[in-house]
């Protein structure tokens, strides 16, 4: 038996977002005892991630989850960078990835839809791994044999390992005393939803659109992403406008009218401001405590890579934990999880998202025109488009990680 295994103690997962739930399902399917602790009363349906990239769908397909998720979302074969004033655009067609993935498209679906699918799978097939809701983890302490987890809503748990999937304010990361190095961008993004059919208002709109604008209601850019029945508009404060003023109904209306003027006010069922971070830990493991997803790395949402990267973490971590659990490897083997996943997060997710953000924050018209022409040239060349999409769709990063020993 492996020195790291204890048949009496489970792997504890803190956080029941999509990353924690994917990890729970993977571990349960591998025959490992799992307990999931979630502070909330239920799965959160707040405005969060909504883009699933091709390799993520490939992974979920192996769990029988891709098809039911696709049925609840919007297949998105193209995405674009667009100039608002004249509609000039660079359109990237993911069909060029047909030989690289079984899902050559993005899927636009709210992340909670995946979470609900996994809950049902756990409920019917792995009830022991079903999340314990209203369980607030307050302290995590490890010794040579395991990890003790205490908090409110549950009795103390002694686990063989604990994995923090509990986001930017991770209790597990704090217990690891792991610095979360990086920065917070100065701007606040305001996410607003509306059922208005922007696809009828603009020629050639994709389901995912990153848009430059010169309108004074914005600081140079906005984005439009469609999910079933709604458009998500990512808005920014105007020059000299503070966040409180930008969140007022009249300000939101002004910004949406600047995107497309219409005679009646916009219906805005959801509104959420958020700050954008660029942060990463130095190591995803300390002893028997590990991190995955936003607990380990944060990035700009430009490009939709954060949740996908966390799900990729869960698949990679499962492989390593399973080998340690079954005695094939000793606990030091878990260090390869960091070696494989951290460089991907740093170079392929954080850095790429930062470049995406910087491109869309460009204000100089001449520089914008040059960037748009460059992106149009790439999109028009199938070989160059494929290389660009292999990177932006996260396929290259996964391939590079698989080669790391």
* CATH number reported for the structural domain that contains residue 40 in this entry: 3.50.50.60
> How many whole angstroms from its chain centre is CA 124?
26
Model confidence pLDDT, tens digit, residues 114-165? 999 999 999 999 999 999 999 999 999 999 889 999 999 999 999 999 999 9
As for how many domains the chain has, the answer is 1
In a domain, 326, yes or no: yes
Model confidence pLDDT, tens digit, residues 50-59? 999 999 999 9
In contact, 300 and 353? CB cutoff 8 Å: yes
**Mean pLDDT, the chain, whole residue set:** 95
Task: Quote the domain boundaries for residue 131.
Answer: 11-73+109-181+277-357
Q: What pLDDT sits at residue 303?
A: 85
Mean pLDDT of 372-401: 97
Q: What pLDDT sits at residue 7?
A: 52
Model confidence pLDDT, tens digit, residues 182-222? 999 888 899 999 999 999 999 999 999 999 999 999 999 99
C-alpha to C-alpha distances, 267 to 46, 216, 262, 379, 391, nearest whole angstrom: 18, 22, 12, 35, 36
Q: What pLDDT sits at residue 1?
A: 35
In a domain, 59, yes or no: yes
In contact, 153 and 198? CB cutoff 8 Å: no
Q: What pLDDT sits at residue 197?
A: 98
Q: What pLDDT sits at residue 8?
A: 55
In a domain, 348, yes or no: yes
In a domain, 64, yes or no: yes
Model confidence pLDDT, tens digit, residues 243-282? 999 999 999 999 999 999 999 999 999 999 998 899 999 9
In contact, 35 and 129? CB cutoff 8 Å: yes
In a domain, 366, yes or no: no
Q: What pLDDT sits at residue 324?
A: 96
> How many whole angstroms from its chain centre is CA 15?
15
Report CA dihedral (234, 239, 242, 248) to the nearest 10 degrees: -60
In a domain, 4, yes or no: no
Residue 12 has pLDDT above 90, yes or no: yes
In a domain, 97, yes or no: no
Residue 5 has pLDDT above 70, yes or no: no
Mean pLDDT of 157-177: 97
Q: What pLDDT sits at residue 2?
A: 42
Task: Grade residue 9 by pLDDT with cuts at 50, 70 and 90.
Answer: confident
In a domain, 402, yes or no: no
């Amino acid at each position: 038996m492996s020195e790291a295994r204890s048949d009496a103690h489970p792997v504890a997962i803190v956080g029941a977002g999509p990353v924690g739930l994917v990890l729970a399902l993977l571990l349960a399917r591998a025959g490992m005892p799992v307990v999931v602790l979630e502070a909330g009363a239920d799965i959160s349906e707040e405005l969060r991630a909504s883009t699933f990239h091709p390799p993520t769908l490939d992974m979920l397909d192996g769990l029988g989850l891709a098809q039911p998720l696709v049925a609840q979302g919007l297949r998105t074969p193209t995405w674009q960078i667009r100039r608002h004033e004249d509609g000039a655009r660079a359109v990237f067609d993911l069909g060029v990835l047909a030989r690289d993935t079984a899902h050559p498209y993005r899927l636009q679906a709210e992340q909670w839809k995946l979470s609900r699918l996994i809950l049902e799978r756990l409920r019917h097939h792995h009830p022991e791994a079903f999340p314990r809701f209203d369980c607030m983890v307050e302290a995590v302490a490890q010794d040579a044999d395991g990890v003790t987890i205490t908090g409110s809503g549950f009795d103390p748990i002694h686990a063989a390992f604990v994995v923090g999937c509990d986001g930017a304010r991770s209790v597990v990361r704090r217990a690891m005393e792991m610095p979360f190095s990086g920065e917070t961008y100065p701007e606040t993004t305001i996410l607003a939803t509306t059922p208005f059919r922007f696809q009828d208002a603009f020629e050639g709109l994709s389901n995912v659109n990153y848009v430059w604008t010169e309108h004074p209601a914005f600081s140079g850019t906005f984005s439009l992403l469609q999910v079933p029945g709604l458009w998500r508009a990512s808005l920014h404060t105007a020059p000299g406008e503070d966040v409180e003023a930008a969140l007022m109904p009249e300000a939101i209306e002004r910004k949406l009218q600047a995107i497309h003027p219409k005679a009646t006010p916009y219906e805005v069922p959801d509104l959420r401001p958020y700050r954008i971070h660029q942060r990463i830990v130095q190591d995803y493991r300390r002893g028997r405590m590990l991190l995955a997803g936003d607990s380990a790395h944060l990035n700009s949402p430009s490009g939709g890579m954060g949740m996908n990267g966390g799900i990729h973490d869960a698949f990679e971590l499962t492989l390593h934990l399973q080998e340690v659990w079954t005695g094939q490897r000793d606990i030091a083997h878990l260090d390869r999880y960091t070696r494989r996943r951290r460089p991907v997060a740093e170079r392929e997710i954080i850095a790429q998202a930062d470049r995406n953000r910087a491109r869309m924050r460009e204000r100089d018209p001449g520089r914008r025109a040059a960037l748009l022409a460059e992106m149009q040239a790439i999109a028009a060349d199938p070989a160059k488009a494929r290389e660009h999409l292999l990177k932006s769709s996260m396929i290259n990063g996964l391939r590079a990680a698989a080669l790391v020993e």
